[in-house]
């Protein structure tokens, strides 16, 4: 397997208030984990800032302008309760979009079998018209739309295992049967969406998990609800919204997963990608707020992408 990691120092310059869980140290912790010898074969590339037009693949221009209007010249500004912007935040967010676009191009050109985009701010809470939940632009949704527009993908599956429901991705694709969206998440929990009866045009699959559950419940939800639907959909590309805040150490939720659970889920999706999508998997970083839990889980996920 050829795996590419897209990264850029600009992601560290997106600043949030002291004590905020979505902080630059998240990527620093991951980078330390990736110094292990087993990651020497990992191809590391610089993500480049995307043209603003790529944002419009998933968001209206009014949303783009609303984000631009909040970016401060100095200090920190905010969109809503917990979603903040600093002077470099727009550049960081557009570079996250650029990484997602480049990731799609890499797997469709055959340059890579799969790609991990180590970007922040995350994206899966960003709805068509709203920045929220630490997120500005929806990188997973933009990646799916780019695959369709630039590479002729007929079917894209997005699988979101972040502990918080990907309300933004669901909002963007709610009535679009060409994109399958599957989510495992804790419920009840922010943002309050993700019930089983939210099915869109038959393309939305939610598998909510109760608090204080763990590996067995997560894997059963994956086996019974997510994997069969993804396999039957026969996607041309699988996009993973890879949040690692369901790890047992994470302070924002109570789903007690281990790093091995993310390894297992990655392997299962790669099996489907091998059958229907010529191995094409694009994974974008979402949540994960305990530094040790994030580093262990994301490193395990990336190593599984490398190993196949």
Q: Which residues are catalytic?
A: 125
The closest alpha carbon to 134, from 80, 171, 179, belongs to: 80
Name the one residue in this structure whose structure tokens are 């609800």.
225
d(CA 5, CA 3): 7
> Which stretches of 23-138 are DSSP H helices?
25-33, 61-70, 89-109
What Rg value do the Cα atoms of the chain yield, rounded? 17
Distance of CA 96 to the CA centre of its chain: 11
Distance CA 273, CA 68 (A): 36
Distance CA 185, CA 209 (A): 6
Classify 173 as helix, strand or coil: helix
Euclidean distance between CA atoms 44 and 2, whole angstroms? 11
Alpha-carbon distance of 226 to 207, in angstroms, equals: 8
DSSP-assigned beta bridge partners for residue 257: 247
- Beta-bridge mates of residue 156: 179, 237
DSSP 50: P
The two structure tokens encoding residue 138: 């929806």
């Amino acid at each position: 397997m050829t795996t590419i990691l897209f990264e850029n120092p600009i992601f560290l310059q997106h600043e949030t208030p002291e004590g905020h869980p979505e902080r630059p140290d998240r990527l620093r912790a991951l980078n330390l984990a990736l110094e292990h010898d087993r990651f020497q074969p990992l191809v590391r590339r610089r993500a480049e800032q995307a043209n603003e037009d790529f944002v419009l693949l998933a968001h209206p221009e009014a949303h783009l302008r609303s984000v631009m209007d909040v970016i401060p010249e100095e200090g920190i500004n905010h969109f809503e309760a917990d979603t903040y912007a600093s002077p470099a935040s727009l550049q960081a967010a557009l570079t996250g979009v650029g990484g997602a676009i480049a990731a799609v191009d890499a797997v469709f050109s055959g340059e890579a079998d799969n790609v991990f985009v180590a970007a922040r701010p995350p994206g899966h809470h960003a709805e068509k018209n709203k920045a929220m939940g630490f997120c500005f632009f929806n990188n997973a949704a933009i990646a799916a739309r780019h695959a369709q527009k630039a590479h002729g993908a007929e079917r894209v599956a997005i699988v979101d295992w972040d502990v918080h429901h990907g309300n933004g991705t669901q909002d963007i694709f709610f009535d679009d049967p060409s994109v399958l969206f599957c989510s495992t998440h804790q419920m009840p929990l922010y943002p309050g969406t993700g019930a089983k009866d939210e099915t869109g045009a038959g393309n939305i699959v939610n598998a909510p998990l109760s608090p204080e559950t763990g590996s067995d419940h997560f894997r059963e939800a994956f086996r019974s609800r997510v994997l069969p639907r993804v396999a039957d959909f026969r996607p041309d590309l699988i996009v993973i919204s890879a949040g690692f805040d369901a790890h047992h150490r994470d302070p924002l939720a109570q789903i007690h997963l281990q790093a091995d659970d993310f390894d297992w889920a990655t392997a299962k999706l790669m099996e489907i990608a091998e059958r229907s999508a010529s191995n094409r998997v694009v994974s974008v970083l979402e949540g994960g707020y305990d530094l040790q839990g994030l580093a262990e889980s994301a490193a395990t996920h990336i190593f599984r992408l490398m190993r196949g």
